[in-house]
Amino acid sequence: MSLSSTVRSNGVRIITMDYPPVNALPVQGWFDVADAMREATADAATRVVLLRAEGRGFNAGVDIKEMQRIEGFSGILGANRGCYEAFKAIYECAVPVVAAVNGHCLGGGVGLVGNSDVIIADEDAYFGVPEVDRGALGAATHLSRLVPPHLLRSMYYTSRTITASRLHELGSVDAVVPRAELDDTALAFADEIALKDPRVIRAAKEALNGIDPVDVNRSYRFEQGFTFELNLAGVADEHRDEFVATGGNLET
C-alpha cells in the first residue's frame, strides 16, 4: 500500500494511489493524500497535479475493515479527519488538480474528485456515495458539484451510482476514454495547463475558489457532524459490521 508523488520536467506532478485490492484508503492514506497536495502547493516548480490510481478502481472510500478492527472511536475519528484534510488540501491546492478516474469512484473517492478541478474518466468509471448504506453521511457536498440538486438527492437516498458517460453529458466529466487511453489523455490535459504562465494559473485557481457559491470545507464539516451522531448512537457500527460480514460489496 502506498502513495507516490513525482514531478515531471514540465511541472506536472503525478500523485498515484495504490492500495490493493480496491483502493479503499486506510486512515493514514487520507493524510498522505493531504500531505502530497500541500507539497504540491509549496513547490514553486509544480504547475499542475494529476491525481490517479493503480489497480481495478480509482477509490472505494475509507477502509471499513480497518475501521472495524480499531477499538473505540479512534478509527472513525481518524478516517473523518483524514478525509476532511484530503478533500480540503485538494480544494486549496494552489495549482489545478486533474483527476484521472478508472473504474469505481465511491464514497471518499467522490470527495477527492468533487474537489478536483477537472475530471477525466475511463469508459467503465462510475461514481456514487453509498454512505447511507453504511450508516453514515458525507460527501454530499462533493457529489453536489457533479450532479444537479434533485439527482443528488435521489442518488444520496438510494446509494445509486452514475456512469462517467452520464456525468460527461452533465458537463462534470471533461472526457470519457477507453481505459488504455486514460493516463495519456489526462496527462495531455495536464500538459496543456503546464504550458500556461504558472503565476496566472495560481491566481486563476484562487480566484475560482473565491467565487464558489458554497464553502466546501464548512459544508463537509457540517455533514460530518451527523456521521458522528450516528456513530455515537451505534447505528454506523451495525451497518459497517454487516458490510464486513457480507464480504464488502462495493456497489451496495
Q: Cα 95 vs. chain centroid, distance in angstroms?
A: 17
- The pLDDT value recorded for residue 157 is 97
CA pair distance 83, 31, nearest whole angstrom = 8
DSSP 2: E
- Specify the amino acid at residue 145: R
Whether 70 and 89 have beta carbons less than 8 Å apart is answered as no
From the list 22, 42, 10, the residue with the least C-alpha distance to 187 is 10
Tell how strand 97-101 and strand 48-53 pair up: parallel
**Cβ–Cβ contacts within 10 Å for residue 17, how many?**
23
> pTM of the entire structure?
0.95
pLDDT at residue 128 in the model: 98
For cell 507516490, the residue is 4
Residues of the chain with pLDDT under 70: 248-252
One-letter amino acid identity for 19?
Y
- Predicted local distance difference test score (pLDDT) of residue 114: 98
DSSP 122: E
Residue type, 60: A
Kindly report, residue by residue over 170-196, the tens digit of the pLDDT. Answer: 999 999 999 999 999 999 999 999 999
First and final C-alpha spacing in the chain:
24
Identify the pLDDT of residue 252: 36
Contact predicate 244/68, CB 8 Å: yes
Single out the residue of 148, 156, 161, 163 nearest to residue 131, CA to CA: 156
How many CB atoms sit inside 10 A of residue 225's CB?
10
Please calculate the CA angle 92-94-97 and round it to the nearest 5 degrees: 80
pLDDT score for 1: 80
* Cβ atoms of residues 48 and 101 within 8 Å: no
CA dihedral 80, 82, 84, 89 (to 10 degrees): -170
Domains present along the chain, CATH in parentheses: 2-182+197-245 (3.90.226.10)
Cα 212 to Cα 227: distance, rounded to the nearest angstrom: 25
Q: Give strand pairing partners of 106.
A: 128
Residue 74: predicted pLDDT: 86
Q: What is the pLDDT, as a whole number, of residue 64?
A: 86
CA angle 85, 74, 20 (to 5 degrees): 65
Burial of 247 (0-12, 13-18, 19+ CB in 10 A): exposed
Say how far residue 206 (Cα) sits from the centre of its chain. 20
